[in-house]
Amino acid sequence: MLEVINISKSFGNIKAVQSVSFSANEGKILGLIGKNGAGKSTIFRIILDILKPDSGKVVVAGEKSSLSINNCIGFLPEEGSLMGELTVYEQMCFYGSLRNMSEEQVLQELLKWLEKFDITEYLNRKIKELSKGNRQRLQFIVSVLHNPKVLILDEPFSGLDPLGVELFKEILLELKAMGKVIIFSSHRMEHIEKFSDDIIILDNGQILMQGTLKEVKDEYRKVNNISCDTSLNDMFIELLGGNANDNQ
C-alpha cells in the first residue's frame, strides 16, 4: 500500500499542494485527474522523494518514502527521459544499474518486455532512430524493468497508436492482477473511467472529490440533483471548466 498523509507544498506564494491525503492499494488502479497546474506532478515528485513536502509524509509498504526505498517504485514521466545516442540495450543497462540490477538481469527482463511489445529487433537500435510510439514503449519498460511494487504513470497512452493503446491496456490489467499498486494520470477521461477503481479530482492543489468511480459519480449527481448517469468528461467540464482533452 502507498499512503499520502496530509502533504502540503508551496513554492513561494504558490500553494501547489494543500493538505492532500489518499491511499492506493495493491491490485487497484487509482486515477488522478485535474487541469494543468492542479498539483499532480508535484504529488508525484513528493511520492518519488524528488521534492520534500512542507508538511505531511508518504508511506510506501509501511516505510516512510525515501531514496533508499525508491527501488520499489516505477515511474513513467510524461516528458520522457531517454538518451537518443544510446542503443535500447545500453539505455536499459544504464537505468538498471541505478536499480542495482546486473547486466544479466537487465537483459533477461528487457527481452521479456520487448517480446511482449513485439519489438525485439530494436534491442541494439539507437533510441533516436525509433518512432515516438516505440520510445513511449521503451519509457514504460524503464518504469517496470526492476519489477516495482508501485507504478506511477503520467500520461501513459501519449504518442501511441490505437493498437499500442490496446496493448498498454492489456498490460495494465495484467499488472493489476499481479497485485501492483498503480497510480496514473491522464487527460483522456475515457481511460480514467475505464480502468480506475478509485479516482481523485484535484483543483488548485486540493482534493475536490475522491472515492470509487461509482461513489464520485453518485456524489456528483446528488449535489447537482441529476438522476441520469453522466460521463467523467462531462463532470470534469462542469467542475473544472474546459474540455479535459484540451488541457494537455
Tell me whether strands 14-24 and 2-11 are parallel, antiparallel or unpaired: antiparallel
| Residue type present at position 84 | G
Tell me whether strands 55-60 and 28-33 are parallel, antiparallel or unpaired: unpaired
The string of pLDDT tens digits covering residues 168-177 is 889 999 999 9
Q: What is the average pLDDT value for the chain, to the nearest integer?
A: 89
Of 129 and 220, which is predicted with more confidence?
A: 129
Spatial distance between the Cα atoms of 140 and 194, rounded to a whole number of angstroms: 20
Predicted pLDDT at 96: 94
Spatial distance between the Cα atoms of 51 and 66, rounded to a whole number of angstroms: 10
Of 143-157, 169-183, 223-237, the poorest mean pLDDT is in 223-237
Residue 132 lies in a domain: no
190 grid coordinates = 475515457
The string of pLDDT tens digits covering residues 22-39 is 999 999 999 999 988 889
Residue 73 lies in a domain: yes
Mean pLDDT of 214-223: 88
121 grid coordinates = 529487433
Predicted pLDDT at 122: 95
Spatial distance between the Cα atoms of 223 and 55, rounded to a whole number of angstroms: 32
Predicted pLDDT at 79: 78
Q: Is residue 49 within a helix (H) or strand (E), and if so which, with residue range?
A: none
The string of pLDDT tens digits covering residues 79-103 is 778 999 999 999 999 999 989 899 9
pLDDT band at 220 (very low <50, low <70, confident <90, very high): confident
Note the Cα 21 to chain centre separation in Å.
17
pTM of the model: 0.87
**Residue position matching grid coordinates 440533483:** 225
Spatial distance between the Cα atoms of 132 and 166, rounded to a whole number of angstroms: 16
Domain that holds residue 77: 2-81+148-246
Residue 110 lies in a domain: no
Of 7-21, 56-70, 80-94, the poorest mean pLDDT is in 56-70
Give residues with Cβ within 8 angstroms of 106, minimum separation 6: 92, 93, 96, 145
Residue 231 lies in a domain: yes
Residue 88 lies in a domain: no
pLDDT band at 63 (very low <50, low <70, confident <90, very high): confident
Mean pLDDT of 216-228: 84
Spatial distance between the Cα atoms of 202 and 189, rounded to a whole number of angstroms: 14
Domain count, the chain: 1
The answer to whether 232 touches 34, Cβ cutoff 8 Å, is no
State the CATH number of the domain containing residue 167.
3.40.50.300
Residue 104 lies in a domain: no
Residue 181 lies in a domain: yes
pLDDT band at 246 (very low <50, low <70, confident <90, very high): very low
Residue 185 lies in a domain: yes
Tell me: pLDDT of 248 over 50: no
Q: What angle do CA 246, 247, 248 make, to 5 degrees?
A: 100
